[in-house]
Every structure is written in C-alpha cells, then in structure tokens.
Amino acid sequence: MKIVQSWDDGVIDDVRLTALLRRYRATATFNLNPGLHHPQRTFSWRYGDKEVWRLGRDELTTVYAGFEIANHSLTHPFLADLSPADLVREVRESRLILQDWFVQPVRGFCYPFGGLNAVVKDAVRAAGHCYARTVSELELIFPPVDPLEFGVHCRFADPQFWSRYQSVRAVNGVFFFWGHSYELINEAMWVDLEDKIARISADSATEWVNLETLFSE
C-alpha cells in the first residue's frame, strides 16, 4: 500500500512537523502560498485560542528541504470568485515563484478552501500542473476519475483514520490523509500524530510516496 500525506499553508508548526516526518523517513507534500510569505515570520490569524504565524521567506527552503512542494495559489483566495486575469496570476505566477525558490518542479496544486469549478480547473491545467487536490473525502481515491479533482480519505485527526487505513490496506491501494499543522493544538495531538507516522512507517506492507509520483508512473 502506498501512503501520501498533504499539509497546507506554510505555518511555523511545520518546523516541528517536518522534523517529526524526517525522524520516520516519511514523505509529505507541503502546499504553499508564496505571496503570503514575508522576509520574517508574520502573524496571520487565530485558530481558537492559538495564534497562527506563517514562516518567513528566508527559512522556507531549510524547513522544507527534501519534501515535495505544491502550489496553493499566490494569496489563498477563493479562486472561483476571481476575474480571469487574477485567476491566471494566482495559479500561474505562484507556481513559477515556488519553482524559483525551491529549484524543483512544482506539478501539484491544492485548491484554497477546496473551491473549484470548470474555469478554475482549466487555469490549473494550463499553468502546467499534473494533479490538483480537493478536500472531498472518498472511499477510493486512486486512480482518480480526474487528476485535477484528486480526493482524500480523511484528515490526520479523523476518528475513523485507522479504519479507513485498514480498508485501503486490505486492497493494497493508496491511502491519503491531509491537514494543517496549526490544528495540532496540544501535546496529546502531537503524540497521536507521531504514533500514526511511526506505525505506518513500521508497517512492512506500506510505502511512503510523494503525490507527484502517483501521476508520473
């Protein structure tokens, strides 16, 4: 069974998350908005009682070294509401910036707020992406009917995480979970996530892979 995971928004909790993933040699895709990263860390919003800060531009390549980078648009708008010119800018320019920053191909896209329509999909395709992730939860995610509407199984903290994992394992499929590291609001959640990553890595029937790999075979 192949395992893929995807994390959004480029926040400071990713520093701890990437260290955890490296410890277990787990691959992951990080979806970033280059237009929202300033030279230094910046406060962005509150998640309940927690302040959410974005990483500084100058630390991105160090934090995400060795991980797959995907495009999450330039500034995280609801893409279906944009003019044609703004849509192209949000989708195409962000991909070019990320490729320049990380010196690696950026072929994946993640729809901000999960919002998409036919026009948005056309723009994502025209900008050179080979897949685009949604937030739609499906029982069978791979192969997708449309690579630009690639669904997920669940979020990382879903109570049904292990039952969904075992269902996919039984058919030797692809298991895909996602989230935002700012959602890890206490140590118990970090311990639970580490347990998941460790158990998956120790499972001889599983293989961590990058999302892009699924669409290049």
> How does pLDDT run across 76-112, given as a tens digit for each residue?
999 999 999 999 999 999 999 999 999 999 999 999 9
Task: Locate 19 and state its tokens.
Answer: 């260290």
CATH code, 99:
3.20.20.370
Q: What contacts 20, CB < 8 A, 6 or more positions away?
A: 190, 193, 194, 197
Q: Taking the model in full, what pTM does it have?
A: 0.96
User: Do strands 2-8 and 174-179 pair parallel, antiparallel, or not at all (unpaired)?
Assistant: parallel
Number of domains in the chain: 1
Identify whether the C-beta of residue 214 lies closer than 8 Å to the C-beta of residue 152: no
The pLDDT value recorded for residue 217 is 58
Identify whether the C-beta of residue 33 lies closer than 8 Å to the C-beta of residue 76: yes
User: Do strands 42-47 and 29-32 pair parallel, antiparallel, or not at all (unpaired)?
Assistant: unpaired
The ranges of the chain with pLDDT < 70 are 217
3-class state of residue 162 by DSSP: helix
Identify whether the C-beta of residue 46 lies closer than 8 Å to the C-beta of residue 36: no
The pLDDT value recorded for residue 40 is 96
Whole domain around residue 196: which residue ranges? Answer: 2-214
